[in-house]
């Protein structure tokens, strides 16, 4: 290492003052960055980047991205820290750049540009994490506000629920220590913590966070209707998950009313979907169909492929409720194809479960078991206990029927395993354990 350090120092000594300043400032990047980001944050001209590439301190990849070897980055960081007047300035610029980067892609995450937006954000997650951590550590959490919703949408899509909880919790803790519980930003962060706890079926934690967040958000002037509606939508999803469909309808209806006032079609469609699912669970299938059609029209107009696939799953869910099992197959297959193409694991898990249930009810037990096992594996990877429970229950129903038909010697073991984890009464409900997507 001393020899390597000496080699780095020699290369450093050969740099011009502009090259030294730029190279040191590039140390704030994690996993590299695009040209515009590096020029903006390093505050240098393109010829300086090219000169650093020529001297093998910076690598320009075929994709157009600039990267720095981690050992070189650490060396540059040491130089940057020695420049007291530069260090905080470049960190602040880096944070501001990536907050704006996420904010600029918020709308695109739910329209025809969604795949591109997700790829772009995924490529920059190292920088986004670094920017977030710096803002939290330096108590600059207010700078993060523009990125809150875009980051929630991205992390929700990817299924990175544990990381999402950690990020929003860290920021909320800093805000709380800074200025007390009456901060609106604190309420927004609590709402997003709750969202991801609810995605992991951690409903007790989510309920506490939402009640605290709602108290803050409802006192806001001017009103933050979209933030309040997000909390209500989360409450609606949880009420539906535990079987309180009337309460779910109440919360979802309140969320929809608030979103209609705001006028943003994306959350309007999301709350229409949530309310439609609650109606379907309650047996009000005509009301559910009407809302699903409105939701589908909005999402098709937006080019929201994930949203379209979600509605298709829910139309299939309603078809299951009407025992139109053959109708389920084309709807869910189309949805499953979309979910896989766009990389939405939770939607894929729900679609696999419902398709497995349809195959089961049509007597196609081998295919049903294969689909449900895929669902089980995926839901366990996500840590989504509710979908896991549905898959286990459905698998138990398939196992019982395979045993009755004498088509498998391992069926009793499969059924017993599911019964042990769910309870006998749940595990033998004939496998009709379908799931809606929200």
pLDDT tens digits for 137-153?
999 999 999 999 999 99
- Measured between alpha carbons, how far apart are the two ends of the chain, in Å? 53
Tell me the pTM.
0.84
Cis peptide before 27 (omega within 30 of 0): no
- Could you tell me if residue 174 is inside a domain? no
Q: What is the pLDDT of residue 434?
A: 57
* CATH number of residue 422's parent domain: 1.25.40.10
Question: Could you tell me the two tokens for 11?
Answer: 């290369």
Spatial separation of the C-alpha atoms in residues 72 and 5, rounded to whole Å: 9
Q: What is the pLDDT of residue 179?
A: 57
- Could you tell me if residue 403 is inside a domain? yes
Mean pLDDT of the residues in the chain: 89
Spatial separation of the C-alpha atoms in residues 265 and 118, rounded to whole Å: 20
Beta carbons of 135 and 95 less than 8 angstroms apart = yes
Phi (first) and psi of residue 67, to 5 degrees: -135, 155
Contacts 24+ apart (CB under 8 A), 375-378: 375/349, 375/350, 378/345, 378/348, 378/349, 378/352
Beta carbons of 21 and 85 less than 8 angstroms apart = no
- Could you tell me if residue 373 is inside a domain? yes
- Could you tell me if residue 120 is inside a domain? no
Phi (first) and psi of residue 52, to 5 degrees: -65, -35
- Could you tell me if residue 427 is inside a domain? yes
- Could you tell me if residue 13 is inside a domain? no
Spatial separation of the C-alpha atoms in residues 3 and 333, rounded to whole Å: 59
Q: What is the pLDDT of residue 435?
A: 58
Q: What is the pLDDT of residue 239?
A: 96
* List of the chain residues with pLDDT < 70: 1, 179-182, 406-438
- Could you tell me if residue 387 is inside a domain? yes
- Could you tell me if residue 90 is inside a domain? no
Question: What is the count of structural domains for the chain?
Answer: 1
Beta carbons of 369 and 353 less than 8 angstroms apart = no
Q: What is the pLDDT of residue 416?
A: 47
Q: Which domain holds residue 404?
A: 323-438
Spatial separation of the C-alpha atoms in residues 248 and 226, rounded to whole Å: 18
Sequential DSSP letters for 249-272? HHHHHHHHHHHHHHT-HHHHHHHH
Sequential DSSP letters for 347-373? HHHHHHHHHHHHHHHTT-HHHHHHHHH
Q: Is 29 helix (H, G, I), strand (E, B) or coil?
A: coil
């Amino acid at each position: 290492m001393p020899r390597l350090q000496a080699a780095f120092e020699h290369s450093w000594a050969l740099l011009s003052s502009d090259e030294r300043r730029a190279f040191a400032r590039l140390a704030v990047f994690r996993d590299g960055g695009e040209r515009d980001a590096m020029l903006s944050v390093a505050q240098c001209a393109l010829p300086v980047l090219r000169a650093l590439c020529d001297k093998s301190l910076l690598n320009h990849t075929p994709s157009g991205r600039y990267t720095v070897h981690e050992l070189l980055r650490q060396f540059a960081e040491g130089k940057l820290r020695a420049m007291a007047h530069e260090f905080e300035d470049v960190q602040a610029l880096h944070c501001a750049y990536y907050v704006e980067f996420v904010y600029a892609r918020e709308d695109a995450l739910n329209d025809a540009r969604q795949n591109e937006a997700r790829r772009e954000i995924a490529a920059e997650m190292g920088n986004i994490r670094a920017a977030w951590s710096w803002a939290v550590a330096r108590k600059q959490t207010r700078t993060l506000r523009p990125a809150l919703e875009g980051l929630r949408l991205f992390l929700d899509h990817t299924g990175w629920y544990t990381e999402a909880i950690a990020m929003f919790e860290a920021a909320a803790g800093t805000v709380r220590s800074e200025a007390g519980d009456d901060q609106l930003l604190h309420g927004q962060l609590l709402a997003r913590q709750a969202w991801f706890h609810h995605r992991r079926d951690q409903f007790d934690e989510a309920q506490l966070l939402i009640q605290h967040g709602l108290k803050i958000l409802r006192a806001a002037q001017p009103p933050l209707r979209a933030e309040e509606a997000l909390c209500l939508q989360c409450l609606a999803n949880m009420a539906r998950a535990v079987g309180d469909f009337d309460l779910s309808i109440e919360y979802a209806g309140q969320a929809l009313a608030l979103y209609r006032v705001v006028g943003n079609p994306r959350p309007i469609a999301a709350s229409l979907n949530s309310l439609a699912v609650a109606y379907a669970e309650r047996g009000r299938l005509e009301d559910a169909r009407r809302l699903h059609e409105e939701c589908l029209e909005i999402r098709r107009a937006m080019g929201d492929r994930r949203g379209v696939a979600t509605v298709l799953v829910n139309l299939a869910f309603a078809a299951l409720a009407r025992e139109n099992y053959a109708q389920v197959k084309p709807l869910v297959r189309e949805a499953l194809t979309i979910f896989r193409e766009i990389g939405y694991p939770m939607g894929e898990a729900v679609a696999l479960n419902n398709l497995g249930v349809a195959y089961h009810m049509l007597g196609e037990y081998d295919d049903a078991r294969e689909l449900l096992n895929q669902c089980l594996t995926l839901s366990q990877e996500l840590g989504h206990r509710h979908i896991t429970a549905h898959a286990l229950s459905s698998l138990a129903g398939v196992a019982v029927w395979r045993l009755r038909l004498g088509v498998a010697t391992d069926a009793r073991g499969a059924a017993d395993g599911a019964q042990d984890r769910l309870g006998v009464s749940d595990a033998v409900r004939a496998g009709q354990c379908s799931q809606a997507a929200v």
